[in-house]
Amino acid sequence: MKKPDVKTIFDKKGFNLCSCHDGIWLYDKILGFNLSMKAKTKDDAFINALEYYQERLKEKENELNELKGKVKDFLSEIPEDF
């Protein structure tokens, strides 16, 4: 079975952008997974990556705010003269 032709568009420290028979793939080397798969253009691949990072940032901000609320609630239960 023939291996698909993969053309590296760029390979930087943290990212790898490749063109394959089924589209453009953007791989995050630091996270260790594809941010975009089978994108029609390079721009589409980068937009997919930005959308992923936006969603993850919002998730992490929500988790941080929830944790801050729990810490605040916990600290409010400690007597001041403790």
Domain that holds residue 18: 7-76
The domain total for the chain is: 1
81 in any annotated domain: no
41 in any annotated domain: yes
**Would you state the pLDDT for residue 17?**
97
The overall pTM is greater than 0.85: no
Could you state, in chain order, the average pLDDT of each consecutive group of 10 residues for the chain (82 residues)? Answer: 83 95 95 96 96 97 98 92 77
Report DSSP letters for 4-61, one per residue. PP-EEEEE-SSEEEEEETTEEEEEETTTTEEEEEEESSHHHHHHHHHHHHHHHHHHHH
32 in any annotated domain: yes
**Would you state the pLDDT for residue 82?**
73
**Would you state the pLDDT for residue 81?**
81
71 in any annotated domain: yes
82 in any annotated domain: no
2 in any annotated domain: no
